[in-house]
Amino acid sequence: MLNKIEHLGIAVKSIEKSAKMYEALLGKPSYKTEAVESEGVSTLFFQIGDSKIELLEATNPESPIAKFIEKKGEGIHHIAYDVSDIESELERLKSEGFQLIHKTPKDGADNKRIAFLHPKSTGGVLVELCEEKGKS
């Protein structure tokens, strides 16, 4: 079951420039930066109530974020949902006909295990499932 919107992922060309704009917009500083080498990204997080904003900057030209920005420009990249049991949720969604990008969870940013669903099966929206590490 999807518990809540965990975060919105926003692809940016420069975390440094975008962070300043988001700090002014949200009236607060970010709480964390982190590199995710496996995805070729640097991330920066803002807490907004129970949800977060994640800025994603490519660290190499072959990363999914670099390709996204090249094709679509900066903007919302994905919506992430918090789940209690990511393996069960992947199985449930697969049985419902959703196309999985990741058949098994992998390590992501902000102490999460993650997996993505293909936007072809989710109405054009890239969906990420997130589970806090150590929960299952």
Q: What is the pLDDT of residue 134?
A: 82
Q: What is the pLDDT of residue 43?
A: 97
Q: What is the pLDDT of residue 45?
A: 98
pLDDT band at 48 (very low <50, low <70, confident <90, very high): very high
pTM over 0.85: yes
Side-chain-side CA neighbours of residue 120 (13 Å): 4
Cβ atoms < 10 Å from Cβ of 88 = 12
Mean of pLDDT values over 83-112: 96
C-alpha closest to that of 78 among 122, 120, 128: 128
pLDDT digits (tens, 9 = 90+) for 58-93: 999 999 999 999 999 999 999 999 999 999 999 999
Place of tokens 């918090």: 82
